[in-house]
Chains A and B, each alone.
Chain A
Amino acid sequence: MSTTEIENILHRAPQPKAPGNLQQRLKAQALSVPRVSATPRAPRPAAPGSWLARWWPALAPTVVSLACAATLSFQQKEFRQLRTELESHGKAQGRPIAIAVNGGPSGDPGAAPASEQNELLRLRSLAASLSAEVAKLEQTQADNARLRAQLASRSAAMFSPEEANALEEARDRAMSIQCVNQLKQLGLAVRIWANDHGELSPPNVLCLSNELSGHFDVLVCPADAGRQPASDPGSFTAANCSYEYLAPSAPETEPQRILFRCPIHGNLGLVDGSVQRAIVKNHPDWIVQRDGKLYMEAPPAPVAEPRNSQSSGSNQN
């Protein structure tokens, strides 16, 4: 049985007949009830604030928007007023500045305050004194250049060629001696470092920064004009050292091992701290290489002539 058939049956449901007196009773009841003949319904009085309760969702955003608009317009008005005041102040202060820049009395001098006038005078006097000093400095530089040229021409004319050669040799010897001294300082620094690090020489020259006390100029041979000493350990590079460091981490048990070598003068600094002068130039055969290490081994000196070795040009320092 389908639901449509059930619905049709339900729609055809019989209507029970009302009792005959029911209608009369209802009508009598209706006529007896005083409310039926009452006056027409008065419109329900609106509760106080009912319109507000109904419209507040719409009114609240409107009121907020109006308040925002009023605030913005007020702020805009204040901005315009402040801008106008700033412009007027700028105009009032811009006049004496223009006078000072132009340097002429085109404006009204009386309008500027007295303090500004005094400052202007002070600056003018300062500029005049600086200009005078610059002129004096330029004149001094010109005098120095002139004197330097005179000195060069005079020294060239003063010495003969022999004297000039002797002077040059003396200068070279002085530089070599200075190089020996520097190598001895380096050897001493290496010894100090080794005392603190298990009798081993440092792995590189930069480790000697503490022992050298920042005197990196001893790493540059005085005859090496192409190198400059490093100013601090952070800026030290291989270009700041003239000497070849040949015995990194070398033990102190090899005193004849070559520690430093000057490629210009041929001086050798040994592990024992001594310095042999001009060995590379005068006795290259004294330098022996074993196991990749360089040693200086001088031939045994003859017993009868102990001083000949010193006169041959190699001096132990």
Chain B
Amino acid sequence: MKTEADDLVERIAKGEQVAAVDLIDLFYERIYAFLRRLSSNDADAADLTQKTFERVWQALPSFSGRSSVGSWIHSIAYHIYVDWRRASHPGEARSSEWWAECAGAGPGPDEIAARNDLSATTYAAVDQLPPELRDTVHLHYYQELTLQETAEAMGVATSTVKYRVRQALTELQQKVAPSNTGRISQTTSRKI
């Protein structure tokens, strides 16, 4: 079944520059959000997004259509992030305050205060997971890719993604237990 993204890729291959603009409109916010969550820096996230689309334009002629366009662009973004992390940011921790700021831009402070204390703790706990589990959570839950698309983006088997998701949920369940909630928040706050 041909999607809108597939149609845009075909039009780009035919030389329609408008299609390229439409493809940017379709994906850039998701890619930026994905890279922003991982990189914890607005400027780095913007640069990584720009690099991602630059790589997209370069690799578009070799796109064979075996995977969806969304998972393909996420795969490029993921590998660009991995390269960037290996090059300049080997060990990086994100604060729960940033998650609170992100959430604060959503529905409203009162609602967030009422329901998202646990959510912020959970998001912070996600960032404390091992890299492969954390990236899997980001792609599968935050970016809402399917298991197969997540596997294609990360270049691993679908069964591996299933195992990592299950492992991540188990670790999150242990870390976000009511008795640990305060300790995690304090720990992450001290790191910042």
Interface residues of A, Cβ cutoff 8 Å to B: 1-3, 6-7, 9-19, 22-23, 25-27, 29-31, 33, 35-41
Contacts and interface: CB of A to CB of B under 8 A. Distances in A.
Contacts, number: 111
B102 interface: yes
Interface residues of B, number: 48
B169 A9 contact: no
A19 B24 contact: no
A35 B28 contact: no
Contact of A18 (B32, B103, B118): B32
Interface stretch (B13-21, B68-76, B79-87, B150-158): B13-21
A9 B116 CA distance: 9
Interface of B: 12-15, 17, 20-21, 24-25, 28-30, 32-33, 36-37, 42, 45-46, 49-50, 53-54, 57-58, 60-61, 99, 102-103, 105-106, 118-119, 122-123, 126, 137, 141-142, 144, 169-170, 172-173, 176-178
Given A7-B169, A26-B50, A36-B17, A16 B28 contact: no
Contact of A16 (B17, B32, B119): B32
A30 B50 contact: no
Contacts of A41: 13, 61
30 contacts: A6-B173, A7-B141, A9-B118, A10-B122, A10-B126, A10-B141, A13-B37, A14-B103, A15-B29, A18-B46, A23-B24, A26-B24, A26-B28, A26-B49, A26-B53, A29-B50, A29-B54, A30-B17, A30-B21, A30-B24, A30-B57, A31-B20, A31-B21, A33-B57, A35-B58, A35-B60, A36-B20, A36-B57, A38-B61, A40-B13
Contact of B176 (A1, A7, A29): A1
A6 B57 contact: no
Contacts of A17: 29, 105
Contacts of A29: 50, 53-54, 57
Contacts of A27: 21, 24
Interface of B is mostly: helix
A16 B105 CA distance: 8
Nearest to B25: A23
| Residue among B24, B25, B58 having the largest count of chain A Cβ atoms under 10 Å | B24
B13 to A, nearest CB: 5
Given A10-B142, A16-B36, A30-B53, 11 more contacts: A2-B173, A9-B119, A10-B141, A13-B37, A14-B102, A15-B30, A23-B24, A26-B53, A29-B54, A33-B57, A36-B60
| Residue among B14, B20, B46, B103 having the largest count of chain A Cβ atoms under 10 Å | B20
